[in-house]
Structure 1
Amino acid sequence: MEKSDDQNPNNNNSASSSSSPFVIKIPSYEEVIQSKPPVQSLFNPSQSFTQAFNSIKNTEFYAPPPPPSSSSSQLESSISRGNSVSTPSSLPSAAGNHTGSSSSATQNRNAILVSHRQKGNPLLKHIRNVRWAFSDIVCDYMLGKNSCALYLILRYHLLHPDYLYYRIRELEKNFKLRVVLCHVDVEDVVKPLLEVTRTALLHECTLLCGWSLEECGRYLETIKVYENKPADLIQGQMDTDYLSRLSHALTSVRHVNKTDVVTLGSTFGSLSNIMDASMEDLARCPGIGERKVKRLYDTFHEPFKRSILKHPSTAETAAQHLTPSEVKEDEEIARSSKRDKKESNLTVKSALSAAFAKYKKKVGTENDHQQEHENQKQ
């Protein structure tokens, strides 16, 4: 028995352990606080920014920054080299300046640019339908990217005839459309307008004449408004059907209306047959009277250009070869012949009046005799 107990000493321990109760030890609050590192409170300010940022990095609200761009890398390289670089605070102001410049550029694109030499010109008061702004330009008015205008007062041209030439010369070949806007403010316009027209044509400029400031301002507004419009916008629309074209051709003849055009077209069939028709054929058409027939026939058969041959008289040809003394003698002969004609006319008139008086007396005496004879019979 002893041997068996000595051989199995663990049996007693296991039995004792099984008989004793199992105890779980629970740590106290102080032991737990002391075992864990202190957690940084978000409500209490940290000593430095790095400590606060390190605590936020471990949370789910943190995302890593994007990779640096080329501009930021250039900024960092310039900072490392010690160069002066604009601070981020200056970037919004630069962006604001850029947007302001772009807005001003769009406004200037939709406005007439006026040269500073036109300050005080009363014409500017009459530009009301289009914006305008002063700018440093060579021409007087820039009406578009490829169009400009030079303003000229005709009275100023009489004082400075070379002014227009030098102004056109300054433009060179920078504009496709170059307008010379001439304000006519004088009464005798034949000679100065001829000079302005000649100068404008020789330098490939378009001349527009206005007799008032309102008219000149309207010209500038119209050119600016129609800057991007096609050239065929003002072209008249022509109908393509034959009847409308025939009506347009025949109604240009006076007293011919659209009803007559329908009658002529249905009778003759075409314009060539109408032109070849005689006056009798035209008169057979109902509703076309004598006046319309004559108008149509004369329109189709008269020549477009009338040539009048002027033959010099024999007296003029003879006078070209005469000396001054001979010319005086001819004038005296002509005067004497006129006097003789007047005297002969007077003699004829006097003879006729005398004959008429005698005839009147004779008729009166015959009437008296007849009345006396009738009275005697009674």
Structure 2
Amino acid sequence: MEKNDDQNPNNNNNSSFVIKIPSYEQVIQSKTPSQSLFKPSQTFTQAFNSIKNTDFYAPPPPPPSSSQFDSSASRGNSTPSSLPSGSNSTAASSTQNRNAILVSNRQKGNPLLKHIRNVRWTFSDIVCDYMLGKSSCALYLSLRYHLLHPDYLYYRIRELGKDFKLRVVLCHVDVEDVVKPLLEVTRTALLHDCTLLCGWSLEECGRYLETIKVYENKPADIIQGQMDTDYLSRLSHALTSVRHVNKTDVVTLGSTFGSLSHIMDASMEDLARCPGIGERKVKRLYDTFHEPFKRLVPKYPSTVETSAPSFTPSEAKEDEKETARSSKRDKKESNLTVKSALSAAFAKYKEKVGTENNHQQEHEDQDQQS
């Protein structure tokens, strides 16, 4: 029996080394979560009831009365409505400032502000006197004040810097003797790239400010002339600038010669062949295309005379003869034909050269005798 007893523990030891493989059902049952032992309380007071027993607990303040609750409720209702109203007011003020003239605080009490009626204006802390846009400003200057403080305009322009593209000096002419002060103001404005606008009354100065503000975002096409693109309109604009030439003559010349260059190269005979163009128009056109732009001044010998010039009776008679000849020439020129216009011009030129030579010889003889 003892031997059997000794063998039994060995058998128990051998059986402990047996590996047991779980079945599929056991594996699935092991995946199911085990039930937690935590059971949440049903109310908030039950969950935090233990906090009252700690040292960190303090009782809550007493509840407010009904009057205080009503006032706090009214304040709470008013605060969310005040926020959008404040944002709307800031947006409205920004748009108003954008469409208004910003006036410097220095201009308070200026009677000019009474005459700015067609545009809104508001006071603001700005460097210039009047801000008329994002890139335009104006400085107000009275000539009477300029006479008392000549350096005022220079220092004000220097304060502006280069922040504005258009810098206007609005000068109120309120003195009688304006030549010298206006010259100084004009010089200062030109040297500092400023535009000078002069007004002889406060109403005129106010109108200038209103106009600049109204036309702030307008293009320059309003003041630019309309240029025609077709050739006939340009040709008529060029030729009608000649005196006595009308649009029908322009159509006739254009259909006959074809272009402006051919009209300029045409002779007087060719121009005279065009129907509706007489002698006067032919002469005007020919002289316009062939006369020099700069008139030649006859060069006489320079004689320095200390005393007043004394005319001899012979020279006076010659002057009378020349006037009579010139009057005769004018009468003859009215009767000249187109073909004889050139010959008459050459003859007149020869006579003119001859008279100039005679005058030069007479002056030389007088110098030699003296």
What pairs with 1:200-211 in structure 2 (closer than 5 Å)?
200-211=189-200
2:230 aligned with 1:247: no
Q: Which residue in 1 is equivalent to 2:26?
A: none
Q: What do you get for the CA RMSD once the two structures are aligned? A: 3.0
Question: Which of 150, 162, 170 is matched with 2:139 structurally?
Answer: 150
TM-score by length of 1: 0.57
What pairs with 1:5-154 in structure 2 (closer than 5 Å)?
89-154=78-143
Q: Which residue in 2 is equivalent to 1:269?
A: 258
Identify if the C-alpha distance between structure 1 residues 185 and 106 changes in structure 2 by more than 3 Å, giving closer, same or farther: same
Identify if the C-alpha distance between structure 1 residues 314 and 251 changes in structure 2 by more than 3 Å, giving closer, same or farther: same
The residue matched to 2:133 in structure 1 has which SS? Answer: coil
1:214 aligned partner, one-letter code:
E
The residue matched to 1:236 in structure 2 has which SS? Answer: coil
The residue matched to 1:314 in structure 2 has which SS? Answer: coil
| CA–CA distance in structure 1, aligned partners of residues 253 and 203 of structure 2 | 49
Identify if the C-alpha distance between structure 1 residues 188 and 279 changes in structure 2 by more than 3 Å, giving closer, same or farther: farther
The residue matched to 2:227 in structure 1 has which SS? Answer: coil
2:163 aligned with 1:174: yes
1:127 aligned partner, one-letter code:
I
Identify if the C-alpha distance between structure 1 residues 313 and 151 changes in structure 2 by more than 3 Å, giving closer, same or farther: same
Q: Give a deviation string over 1:228-283, Cα, whole Å, max 9, x none.
A: 22234432221110000111111122222211111111121111111122223222
Q: Which residue in 2 is equivalent to 1:279?
A: 268
Identify if the C-alpha distance between structure 1 residues 301 and 226 changes in structure 2 by more than 3 Å, giving closer, same or farther: same
The residue matched to 2:236 in structure 1 has which SS? Answer: helix
Identify if the C-alpha distance between structure 1 residues 230 and 267 changes in structure 2 by more than 3 Å, giving closer, same or farther: same
1:211 aligned partner, one-letter code:
W
| CA–CA distance in structure 2, aligned partners of residues 253 and 187 of structure 1 | 44
Q: Among the aligned pairs, what percent are the same residue? A: 83
| CA–CA distance in structure 2, aligned partners of residues 282 and 211 of structure 1 | 54
Task: Give structure 1 regions of 4+ aligned residues with deviation exceeding 6 angstroms.
Answer: none
The number of residue pairs the alignment matches comes to 242
Identify if the C-alpha distance between structure 1 residues 214 and 270 changes in structure 2 by more than 3 Å, giving closer, same or farther: farther
1:246 aligned partner, one-letter code:
L
Q: Which residue in 1 is equivalent to 2:216?
A: 227
1:101 aligned partner, one-letter code:
T
After the TM superposition, which of the residue ranges 128-137 and 257-266 deviates more from structure 2? 128-137
Q: Which residue in 2 is equivalent to 1:299?
A: 288
1:105 aligned partner, one-letter code:
S
1:272 aligned partner, one-letter code:
S
1:301 aligned partner, one-letter code:
H
Deviation at 1:295, TM superposition (A): 2.2
Deviation at 1:191, TM superposition (A): 3.0
Segments of 5+ residues of structure 2 without an aligned counterpart are 1-43, 45-74, 318-370
Identify if the C-alpha distance between structure 1 residues 148 and 250 changes in structure 2 by more than 3 Å, giving closer, same or farther: same
| CA–CA distance in structure 2, aligned partners of residues 101 and 285 of structure 1 | 75
Q: Which residue in 2 is equivalent to 1:183?
A: 172
Q: Which residue in 2 is equivalent to 1:213?
A: 202
1:299 aligned partner, one-letter code:
T
What pairs with 1:340-359 in structure 2 (closer than 5 Å)?
none
| CA–CA distance in structure 1, aligned partners of residues 231 and 186 of structure 2 | 42
Q: Which residue in 2 is equivalent to 1:163?
A: 152
Q: Between Structure 1 and Structure 2, whose CA radius of gyration is higher? A: 1
Identify if the C-alpha distance between structure 1 residues 108 and 309 changes in structure 2 by more than 3 Å, giving closer, same or farther: farther
